[in-house]
Amino acid sequence: MRTHAERWIADDPDPATRAELNALLRHADLSKTDLADRFSAALEFGTAGLRGVLGAGPNRMNRAVVARATWGLASTILARVPRAAERVLVVGGDARRMSRELSEDVAAIAAASGLRVMLFGGPVPTPLVGFTVKKLGAAAGVVITASHNPPEYSGYKVYWENAVQILPPVDAHIAEAIQRAPAAREIFRPSLESLRAAGRVVDAPPDLETEYVAAIRSLAVHPDEGDRRISIVYTPLHGVGDRLVHQALARAGFVSVTSVPDQKDPDCAFPTVAFPNPEEPGAMDRALTLASRMGADLVLANDPDADRLAVAVPRPHEGGPWPLSGRAPDEGAVGRYVRLTGNEVGALLGHYLLTERPRTRPRAVVASIVSSPLLGRMAAELDATYDETLTGFKWIAHRALELERAGIEFLFGFEEAIGYCIGDVVHDKDGISAALLVAELTAVLRSRGRTLATELEAIARRWGLFTSAQVSVTRKGASGAAAIRSMMTALRAAPPLRIGDDEVVAVADYETSSRRDCRSGRRSALTLPSSDVLSFELASGGRVVARPSGTEPKAKFYFDVREPVGVGEPVARAAARAHASIDRLPTAFQAMISL
C-alpha cells in the first residue's frame, strides 16, 4: 500500500492531496489509517458516472481521478459523437467543496483534447446544465455534483448528446478509454485564460437562466389560474436552488415565497442538517418550523443540486393523523405539517397532467419499477400509455425520448425517491420545474375550495389507497454478498405462492426478461434491459419488489399495498387498514427468505 501511495503522489497534480497522502504515510501504524480503503479499489465509471468521498487515492474523488476521467470522456466523445469538435461540451457544478476546481479541470482538459467547452462560471442547479445540453444540441455535458449525498462527497455526472444521462454501452466505452489515459500529471491542462483567449472555452451566458425559467413556465397547465397569494416556505438545504426557484415562482405570479434564512445560501458544510437530503428525518425541520410560525400553505425543499423535490402540507386537522396513511404527527411545530411521499407527489402531478392538460395527441406517463403502481392504474382509465423502467432516472428519460419519437407526448415521469420530470424541457429529474407545478396545483385547488390532501383523498376513492414501504438488509463482506445472491437464486427457483395473506398472481423476473402469470402459467416478455430484480404482483393490487444494491452488499425490498375505499367510507378508515397491511407485508416476506 505504501508503494501504491508513493506512486500516486508522484503522479498527482494536486499539492493538497499529495500532502494529504504524505501525512497518512507518516502515521506510525498504517493499518490504523484508511490507506487500504483508498487503494484497495478504484472508483468505477458507470451509468451514474463517478461518485465518492473527496480525498487522495484512486478510490476517492479528486483532481487526479477527474483528470483521467475527463481524458477518457473527451476521447470517447470525439470518437463516437458526430461533429463533436464543432459542437460544445457543457460543464457546470454545484456548490460543494472542490466543485469549482473540478469543473475548471474538466473544462481545461476537454478543451485541450479538441472539444469546445461552455463553462458555467458559478454554482448552478443540475437541471440547468441538462437544459443547456438539450437547447444547444451539445456533444455532451458534465456536472460536478454529489446531489443529496453527505458533505464529504463529490460526483461526476455525464449527459450524452441526447441530453440524457449516459446508458450502456456508452459507459463501458468511456471506462475503457479511462483505462488508456496517461497518468494524471501527464494530462495537458492549459490555463483557462489561454483557452478563453483561443476561443476553446466560453463562459455560459446569463440569459440561459432566463430561457430555462421561461421554458419551465411553459409547462404550466393553467398558467394564469388559481390563488397565487398562497404562502410558500422554501429551502434549498444550503444548495444552489434558491435564486432560480424564486425567479420561477415570481414569474408565475406567486407573491409570498419565503426561504429559510439560514439555509438559503450555498454552504458546502451543510451546517444545519445532518444529511442534506430532504427525504431524511429532520432535514426539513427548520422549514416546517418556519412554516408553522407563518401559517404557510405549502412547504417546498430541493436537495443541494435542485434535481429532487420534497413537499409538505398542513395537516387537515392539527394534531391529528394524516388521513391517507394513519401517520402520527411529529412533536411541536413540525408536527403541524406532513411530508408527502415521493409516490404521493407523483400521483398528484400525474393526475393533474392527465386530467387537466389539453390533449393534442396520444400521451404517456412513466415510472420506475419500484415506484407506486397507482400511476399505472390512473393512466389505464384515463386513456394514456403507462410504461415502467428500471431504477435510475436515465431510464425514464431514455424511454421519454423513445415515446416522443413515436409521436406520443411524454407528459410525466417519476421515481419514488422524490424525482420528477415534466414534459421535455429537461431530459432528467428537475426539482425546480416540479416545485413550480406543485405550487400551481396548490393554487388552482385553493381557488376551487380544495387542497392537496383532499385531492389525494379523491384519488384514493377512485383508484384505491396505495401505501408504500421500503426495507434494506445489509450483509457485510464477501459472505454477505454471497448470501444476497443465494437469496435471489432461491426466490427465482421457488417463487412464493402467497406472501402473508395475499396471493401472488404474477412474477416478473427482470434478469430473464419474462413475466409469468401464476394462475394461467402463461409467460410474456419484458422489454426492459436485463437486471437482477424480481417483482411479485399480489391479488390485492399490491406488489413486492426485491433487488440487490448495485454498489454495496445490501438487498432492497419495496412493498406496495392497495386498499379499496368503500362508498361513503372515511378515507382514514381505509388508510388504517392499509397501514396495518404495510406493517405486516415486510414481516411476512422477510420471514420467507433466508437472508
> Lowest-confidence range among 87-91, 176-180, 575-579?
575-579
What does the alpha-carbon distance between residue 419 and residue 437 come to, in Å, rounded to a whole number? 13
Average pLDDT over residues 129-154: 97
328: pLDDT strictly greater than 80: no
Average model confidence (pLDDT) across the chain: 94
What does the alpha-carbon distance between residue 214 and residue 197 come to, in Å, rounded to a whole number? 32
Q: Of 461, 487, 506, at which residue does a domain stop? A: 461
Residue numbers of the domain that contains 476:
464-592
Percent pLDDT > 70 in the chain is 96
Could you tell me which of 472, 468, 503, 513 has the C-alpha nearest to residue 375?
468
Q: Are 268 and 304 in contact (CB under 8 A)?
A: no
**CA dist 494 to 266, 370, 497, 498, 541, Å?**
51, 22, 9, 12, 22
What is the residue-wise DSSP string for 31-86? GGSSHHHHHSS-PPPBTTBEEEEBSSSTTSBSHHHHHHHHHHHHHHHHHHSTTGGG
Helices (H), 58-169: 63-80, 99-112, 126-136
In a shared domain, residues 8 and 25: yes
pLDDT given at position 323: 59
In a shared domain, residues 499 and 569: yes
> 426: pLDDT confidence band, cut at 50, 70 and 90?
very high
In a shared domain, residues 576 and 433: no
In a shared domain, residues 26 and 63: yes
In a shared domain, residues 376 and 228: yes
Give the strands of the sheet with 363-368, arranged side by side: 385-389, 363-368, 409-415, 419-422
593: pLDDT strictly greater than 90: no
Q: What is the CATH number of the domain that holds 531?
A: 3.30.310
Q: Of 153, 173, 204, at which residue does a domain stop? A: 204
In a shared domain, residues 287 and 392: yes
In a shared domain, residues 251 and 343: yes
Q: What is the pTM of this model?
A: 0.95
In a shared domain, residues 212 and 113: no
11 vs 41, residue with greater confidence:
11
What is the distance, to the nearest Å, from the Cα of residue 55 to the centroid of all Cα atoms in its chain? 24
Q: What is the CATH number of the domain that holds 178?
A: 3.40.120.10
In a shared domain, residues 358 and 454: yes
Could you tell me which of 45, 40, 77, 83 has the C-alpha nearest to residue 59?
40
**Where do the DSSP E strands lie in 381-509?**
385-389, 409-415, 419-422, 465-474, 498-499, 502-509
* 203-229: pLDDT as tens digits: 999 999 999 999 999 999 999 999 999
In a shared domain, residues 497 and 574: yes
Average pLDDT over residues 2-8: 93
514 is catalytic: no
Active-site entry in 75, 99, 113, 147: 147
> 319: pLDDT confidence band, cut at 50, 70 and 90?
very low
In a shared domain, residues 359 and 508: no
What does the alpha-carbon distance between residue 116 and residue 107 come to, in Å, rounded to a whole number? 9
Q: 385-389 and 337-339: which strand pairing?
A: unpaired
In a shared domain, residues 270 and 373: yes
Angle at 306 between CA 88 and CA 528, to 5 degrees: 75
Number of structural domains in the chain: 3
> 316: pLDDT confidence band, cut at 50, 70 and 90?
confident
pLDDT given at position 334: 75
> 82: pLDDT confidence band, cut at 50, 70 and 90?
very high
324: pLDDT strictly greater than 80: no
Q: Give me the count of residues in the chain.
A: 595
* 453-512: pLDDT as tens digits: 999 999 999 999 999 999 998 888 778 888 899 999 999 999 999 999 899 999 999 999
Q: Of 142, 169, 204, at which residue does a domain stop? A: 204
Average pLDDT over residues 548-568: 87
Q: 201-203 and 88-93: which strand pairing?
A: unpaired
> 549: pLDDT confidence band, cut at 50, 70 and 90?
confident
What does the alpha-carbon distance between residue 103 and residue 590 come to, in Å, rounded to a whole number? 45
